[in-house]
Amino acid sequence: MPIQRLNHAVLYVRDAEKAAVFYREVLGFRTVHEGPGAVFLQAAGSTNDHDLGLFSIGDAAGPTTAGRSSVGLYHLAWEVDTLDELERIAKALADAGALVGASDHGASKSLYARDRDGIEFEVAWLVPAGALDGQDHLSGRPLPLDLAAEKGRYGSDTLGGVGISTPAPA
């Protein structure tokens, strides 16, 4: 039986309660369970029991060195349904001082950000399979993301990922 999807991620953070505030206020997650030193969050559009677990390890914890001097996870990527939603999240991330990049990968339009502990994540909109034109695959370096142009090309409320990460209608 093949793996179907990622159910949840768990992150070690300095302070789970403070980290949860960021994920709630900026990305719209909601707390579904809290315990001593742990917070479990669910994304607004999710039916999972939880999508993100945060575990406190204390304020003395150093920054992650993954990719610089140690192996480890580079980033998590969450998908949004529309380019309007991607634009809304871009503003929320920028307002929080968390947005560190925005790229056009052809078949996906991506924002990159870091949470309060410096853990990087991506928020992406995937071009629907029926709208891929052969020019939408990464062939080298990503381009800067021009959300206004992408909304003009695909529409602001077109559902992304159809036929790729979500089934195409029958």
| pLDDT tens, residue by residue, 53-108 | 999 999 999 999 999 999 998 999 999 999 999 999 999 999 999 999 999 998 99
Compute CA distances 11 → 20, 140, 155, whole Å: 11, 31, 35
pTM above 0.95, yes or no: no
Instruction: Look up residue 18 and give its two tokens.
Output: 């403070």
The answer, yes or no, to whether residue 37 has pLDDT greater than 70, is yes
**3-class DSSP assignment, residue 35:** strand
52, β-bridge pairs: 9, 41
Reported confidence tier of residue 140, pLDDT bands at 50, 70, 90: low
How much is the pLDDT for 99? 98
User: In whole angstroms, how large is the CA radius of gyration of the chain?
Assistant: 17
**Residue 149: what are its φ and ψ, rounded to 5°?**
-65, -40
Strands 99-104 and 38-42: unpaired
Domains and CATH numbers, the chain: 1-57 (3.10.180.10), 74-170 (3.30.720.110)
Average pLDDT score over residue span 115-140: 84
Strands 52-56 and 9-13: parallel
How much is the pLDDT for 137? 57
Which residue is it, tokens 């959300």? 147
How much is the pLDDT for 139? 58
Cβ pair 75, 120 in contact under 8 A: yes
